[in-house]
Amino acid sequence: MRFQLIGVNHKSAPLEVRERLAIPESRLPDTCRELTAYPGIEEGMVISTCNRVEVVTHTTNGHADLRGFLHDHFHLKPEELDAHLYEFREKDVVRHLFRVAASLDSMVVGEAQILGQVKEAYATARAVGAVRGQLDQLFSRAFAVAKRVRSETAVGSSSVSIASVAVELAKKIFGTLQGKNVFIVGAGKMSELAARHLMAHGCASIFVANRTYDRAIGLAQKFNGQAIKFEDLYSTCDKADIVITSTGAPHAIFRREHGEQFLARRKNRPMFFIDIAVPRDVSQGMAKLDGIFAYDIDDLQQAVTSHVADRRKEAERAEAIIAGEVEKFEARISTLDVVPTIVSLQDHLETIRQAEIDRVRGRMGQLTPEQEIAIEALTRGIINKVMHTPITTLKSAAKESEATTVVDVVKRLFNLQVKGKDIPLQESPKKKDEVGTRQ
Amino acid sequence: MSLLWLRFALGCYFIGLIYAFVALSRTSDLFSRIALHAASLGMVFHFVSLTELFLSGQVVWASVHNGESLLAFLSMAFFMVIYTIYQTTSPGVVVFPVVFFLTFVAAVDEQPVLLTQFVSHKGWLIAHIILIFTGYAALVLSFGASLLYLLQERRLKSKKATSLISFLPALEVIDQIGYRSLLLGFPFMTLGLLTGSVVAMTTYGHVDFLDPKILLSLLMWAVYMVMVFTRWNSGWRGRRAAFLATFAFVAALAAWAANYFSAIHRFAAS
């Protein structure tokens, strides 16, 4: 395991620095090629999003000059960049990537975008052959871990903005938003944002009413909706399932009697009022009606706050999952490190065995099938006994830090030419099985 | 043998019962999956039990315990249909305890209580029982849905609905489940009562409308009709619909209990 990672993110570097490091999507393939051509780097890829730029590599000896690569690539002086960089090696790279993919390192913890971005970066690097061995394993695992975190914790399941909380509530009431109508009362930035969110989730049409009719027309056009004169508000409002209201009226404009009218005309189908006006537009009396669900700005804000706290709690559970996964991955990769040596040791001894049998076969004369079998069993038995200790030692050493030393000793002792150091590691489990059967 | 299968089914439904209690306080995807599988397995046992009964060829269909068993099975079947359509196990909160109770009562007693009256038209009787029980099962479900509707409505009103833990489906989904069960159950209930009258007519030559069983059944049917009508005409839901559903449910229970008082719909130990 010789992973190395270097990068900047929203915590370590201001936007001005991140801007200079950002790599446009079209340039990513070339950057990956350039990276793998850099001395000491076997595999490499670059993750570039608005919040982070990271270079992840698998190196020949664990000491590639990634800072040098960044300086060269971006033509930056060390003093401009180095203070903002963080660097990880080996196990820490694994942990960091698992956290990034699971969106624990994001600005908004639990946001879903980052996983898609990392997957894209991975696909690009893989397409140009910059990711093929251990790095491939690492990212495949990172995606699986991210999925696990998502399904076993609720880290990404709650909304953390007013607009998305509104959408979530609407879904709690209506199930699907397909075909639902939205009414914006009082054109404002915030109601526009909420409406945009609702439309993105499938709401069918939009009505806009505003004291100034022209502004209503303007906003309605943006959404391909219908402007309604303010005096027609009460006669049309029941057509909407969701009402976003934010007028500057000093008193509530929706009172109990209005609510009763709406419900009667709607045959009691529920209505959802998102009241972001201060003072409130929906009276307490109306909010109490069965079938009217009114949320004011404080209710929404409170939901957001509690979601943020929930996410923090869930993130702790996610961290525990990741810690376990890092251990598992490390154990797996290090076993894979010794597999080529074990295989070549087995091949080596098998060749000797075959050669020896062939050499003495002439002297033994005609053998009965039973004798053949006995000789096979005898020679195999000796080989297996001899191999047993080195293989167990190799396997247990794989879990320790001394793996490389032990591998070197075994290679020297038996004069092994380990082939397939770069064999794609997906094939390795098969080889591992072979190891098992031959023992 | 049939009773043995039924007891296996009861064991499976017990897991559902536990789920019903746990689900009220917290959600667990894993547990609702377990409950669902247990319920499906229970239904298989239950089906085997009912099939054996049917193949035994006696009129034990008309016994109290077998009636309860059939009703429990039909309620589960409705629950499964709803699960298939809406992917929600939450109606189980109401359905599972009812099913468990019915199966429990049906499974404890070795000696089923039988209809003592000689019934000349067995086919009509079986049709009556199956239709009426399908109606009952739909009623159980729509009653369950109306309770869940109230619960979800309260949660939304109290502004707590957005917390992470929320096992209930959307308000309108619950509403649809309730309304659809209601609509589906009504014709069954109506036809069930009609076939019942046919059985009574052919057996006694008249229908005694003052018999408590018939009186309560008609009352239940009337409430049922009022529910369907108010819902269809003015979209009654929430609290008012829940009151009506509770009323209909209680009337149904009373009609069921009336088996023990009724002169014509009487059961006695076999």
Q: Touching check for B161 and chain A: CB below 8 Å?
A: yes
- Looking at A235, A259, A290, the residue that finishes a domain is A290
Looking at the fold, whether A75 and A192 belong to one and the same domain comes out as: no
- Given a cut of 90, is residue B49 above it in pLDDT? no
Q: How far is B253 from chain A (nearest CA, A)?
A: 29
Convert the pLDDT of each residue in B199-251 to its tens digit: 778 777 777 777 777 888 888 888 888 888 888 888 888 778 888 888 888 88
- Domain contains B124: yes
Q: Are residues A191 and A277 in the same domain?
A: yes
Residue A10 has pLDDT above 80, yes or no: yes
CB contact under 8 A, B172 and A303: no
| Best A151, A167, A173, A266 residue to mutate vs chain B (most B CBs within 10 Å) | A173
Angle at B73 between CA B106 and CA B52, to 5 degrees: 70
| B91 backbone dihedrals φ, ψ, rounded to 5° | -60, -20
> In the predicted model, is pLDDT for residue B23 greater than 80?
no
**pLDDT above 60 (res B79):** yes
Q: Is the pLDDT of residue B150 over 70?
A: yes
Please name the member of B171, B236, B237 whose beta carbon is closest to the beta carbon of A173. B171
Same-domain status, A197 and A262: yes
Confidence of residue B26 (pLDDT cuts 50, 70, 90): low
Q: Is residue B172 less than 8 Å (CB to CB) from chain A?
A: yes
Of A264-273, A419-428, B242-251, which has the strongest mean pLDDT? A264-273
- Average of pLDDT values for B95-110? 78
Residues A190 and A277 in one domain: yes
CB nearest to A173's CB, from B156, B164, B234 = B156
What tokens does A415 get? 């004069």
For residue B163, pLDDT beyond 60: no
pLDDT score recorded for residue A426: 39
For residues B12-16, give the mean pLDDT: 85
pLDDT, averaged across chain A? 85
Sign of the C-alpha dihedral computed for residues A276, A282, A284 and A287 taken in this order = negative
Q: For A76-109, how does the pLDDT look when each residue is reduced to its tens digit (9 = 90+)?
A: 888 888 889 999 988 899 999 999 999 898 887 8
B164–A158 C-beta distance less than 8 A: yes
pLDDT confidence of residue B104? 80
**What single letter denotes the amino acid at residue A349?**
L
Its domain, for residue A260, covers 162-290
Residue B159, chain A, CB below 8 Å: the answer is yes
Task: Please tell me whether residues A110 and A147 are part of one structural domain.
Answer: yes
Q: Is residue A370 part of a domain?
A: yes
> Is 50 exceeded by the pLDDT of residue A269?
yes
Residue A309 belongs to a domain: no
- A431 in the same domain as A348: yes
Q: What is the pLDDT of residue B36?
A: 85
Residue range of the domain that includes B136: 116-269
The structural domain count of chain A equals 3
pLDDT (0 to 100) of residue B59:
46
| ∠ CA B186-B191-B194, rounded to 5° | 130
pLDDT of res. A405: 76
Torsion of CA A266, A268, A273, A278, to 10 degrees: 100
Residue B72 banded pLDDT, cuts 50, 70, 90: confident
Shared domain for A45 and A131, answered yes or no, is: yes
Taking the C-alpha atoms of residue A183 and residue A238, their distance in angstroms, rounded to an integer, is: 9
A264 and A286 fall within a common domain: yes
**Residue B235: Cβ within 10 Å count:** 19
- Measured CA to CA, the distance from residue B220 to residue B132 in angstroms comes to 12
**CATH code where residue A122 lies:** 3.30.460.30
CATH number of the domain that residue A200 is part of: 3.40.50.720
Is A157 contained in some domain?
no
Is the CA virtual torsion A24, A30, A36, A39 positive or negative? negative
Q: For residue B2, is pLDDT > 80? A: no
Q: Residue A103 domain-assigned?
A: yes
What's the pLDDT tens digit per position in A393-402? 887 777 666 6
Partner-chain contact B172 A270, CB within 8 Å: yes
Pick from A157, A172, A262, A299 the residue to mutate for testing the B interface (most B CBs within 10 Å): A172
Output helix, strand, coil percentages for chain A, rounded to the nearest 5: 60, 15, 25
Task: Name the residue among A85, A35, A81 with its Cα closest to residue A58.
Answer: A35
Q: Using DSSP bridges, classify how beta strands B267-269 and B113-115 pair: parallel, antiparallel or unpaired.
A: antiparallel
A192: in domain: yes
Q: What are phi and psi of A8, to 5 degrees?
A: -130, 150
Instruction: For residue A295, give the nearest of A205, A167, A158, A147 by alpha carbon.
Output: A167
The confidence score (pLDDT) of residue A402 equals 67
Banded model confidence at residue B262, pLDDT cuts 50, 70, 90: low
pTM: 0.64
- Residues A10 and A144 grouped into a single domain: yes
Q: Is A359 on the interface with B (CB under 8 A)?
A: no
Q: Position A219: which residue type?
A: L
Chain B residues closer than 8 Å to A167 by CB: none
A79 touches chain B (CB under 8 A): no
Q: Please give the average per-residue pLDDT across A301-310, as a whole number.
A: 82
Please check whether residue A383 touches B, CB under 8 A: no
Say whether A203 is catalytic: no
Whether B230 maps to a domain, the answer reads yes
Q: Is the pLDDT of residue B116 over 50?
A: no
- The answer to whether residue A328 sits within a structural domain is no
pLDDT at site A423: 39
- Is pLDDT at B135 greater than 60 in this prediction? yes
Note whether A347 and A272 are same-domain residues: no
Whether residue A138 lies inside any domain: the answer is yes
* Same domain (yes/no): A124, A187: no
Domain count, chain B: 1
Q: What average pLDDT score do residues A21-34 get?
A: 88
Instruction: Collect all residues of chain A within an 8 Å Cβ-Cβ radius of residue B237.
Output: 268, 291
**Whole-complex ipTM:** 0.74
Considering A124, A152, A180, which residue would you say is the last residue of a domain? A152
Share of chain B above pLDDT 90, in %: 2
Q: Specify the pLDDT at position A428.
A: 39
Residue B234 located in a structural domain? yes
Query: Each residue of B166-177: pLDDT tens digit?
Result: 667 888 888 888
Residues A21 and A125 in one domain: yes
Residues 6+ apart with CB under 8 A from A425: A133, A134, A136, A137, A336
pLDDT category, A359, cuts 50, 70, 90? confident
